[in-house]
Amino acid sequence: MIIKFTRQISKIIISIFILTFSHSCSDKSKQIPADDSEWTQLIDENLNEWDSYLSFKHQVGYDGTPPLDESGNEIAPIGLNKPGFGVFSTITENNEVLIKVSGEYYGCLISKKEYENYHLQLKFKWGDKKWIPRLDRLKDSGILYHSIGPFGAEHWRSWMMSQEFQIMEAHTGDFWSQATSAIDIRAYASESGLNPMAHESQDFLSFGEGGEAGNYCLRSNNYEKKPHEWNTLDLICFNGKSLHIVNGEVVMVLKNSRYINEIGEEIPMTKGKIQLQSEAAELFFKDIKIKSIEKFSPEHAAFF
């Protein structure tokens, strides 16, 4: 009797161990492996890897066209690397350097270098402040990749032409086309006024300039953490294909990155600068790093 009871206890203990180990392995499988020896750090106290560009401090009534002064003349954007506005700064928290984005003016940090075929990883968390026009809206920002062309080509002359990995409350991982960019996304088509939504099980639809699906696509699901908690984002790009990954979960599969030129030709868009947006909401970035890749991992290649 005692022996039988002991065997039952042993089986229970082994079962608990197996379940715990399996759960641990499952959690680890969602993590993106990181070999720090391969990464280039893109953050320091002086923001040496970045330029900054600012357009306007938004006001009620702006409709997407350049705002006008009292005489009806267009107000010029603030411009490139102009001091004194305090939109982008660095602070130290728990011995780590953070980038603080005030959000008070529309604009962006722009990487000084162009990148192609890479894995970008960063962490972000929301601050508390919001500005017009987002006072009663969700907090908003984004990673703009494959950024090319003139500064301020899109949206109140704030950003370069690019593809957007959106950072937005409950919408982190969404896609927006910027200027005449275009791309194909595995997504459910729009129906009955609903936005298209990404899903790895679907065929590719064309988004952006000339695309039948519009210029916006929802991420497959919301994996953002609670307010004031750090989120890890991974953007993996190779040969015009890209993955949007939020806290270890692939939320969008994209390919055939391109733009449409002035005579209607499709031009591949696989290389460019990286922009981090200031878009009327306060947020913080840390652990920004990038590394070159020669191919997708087998796990990530399977999405295409």
Which range scores top for mean pLDDT: 33-42, 52-61, 70-79, 99-108? 99-108
Assigned domain for 9 exists: no
Assigned domain for 113 exists: yes
Looking at every residue in the chain, the average pLDDT score rounds to: 89
Neighbours of 29 (CB within 10 A): 9
pLDDT value for 295: 97
Return the sign of the alpha-carbon dihedral for residues 232, 124, 108, 69: positive
Give the residue from 58, 115, 112, 96 showing the smallest Cα distance to 291. Answer: 115
pLDDT tens, residue by residue, 167-205: 999 999 999 999 999 999 999 999 998 999 999 999 999
Assigned domain for 29 exists: no
pLDDT tens, residue by residue, 215-274: 999 999 999 999 899 999 999 999 999 999 999 999 999 999 999 999 999 999 999 999
pLDDT, average across residues 35-58: 91
Assigned domain for 89 exists: yes
Determine the structural domain holding residue 253 and report its residue range: 37-301
Q: What is the pTM of this model?
A: 0.88
Query: What's the total number of domains in the chain?
Result: 1
pLDDT tens, residue by residue, 116-127: 999 999 999 999
pLDDT value for 31: 53
| CATH at residue 160 | 2.60.120.560
| Distance, CA of 285 to CA of 297 (rounded, Å) | 26
Q: Got the DSSP string for 5-42?
A: HHHHHHHHHHHHHHHHHHHHHHHHHTSPP--GGG-EE-
Assigned domain for 65 exists: yes
Q: What percent of the chain has pLDDT over 90?
A: 79
pLDDT value for 35: 53
Residue 7 pLDDT exceeds 90: no
Residue 25 pLDDT exceeds 70: no
User: Which carries the bigger pLDDT value, residue 24 or residue 282?
Assistant: 282
Assigned domain for 118 exists: yes
| Distance, CA of 229 to CA of 247 (rounded, Å) | 11
pLDDT value for 5: 40
- The first and second tokens of residue 144, run together, are 């703009």
Q: What percent of the chain has pLDDT over 70?
A: 88
Neighbours of 112 (CB within 10 A): 12
C-alpha dihedral over 217, 218, 224, 227, to 10 degrees?
A: 90
Assigned domain for 50 exists: yes
Assigned domain for 17 exists: no
pLDDT tens, residue by residue, 134-151: 999 999 999 999 999 999
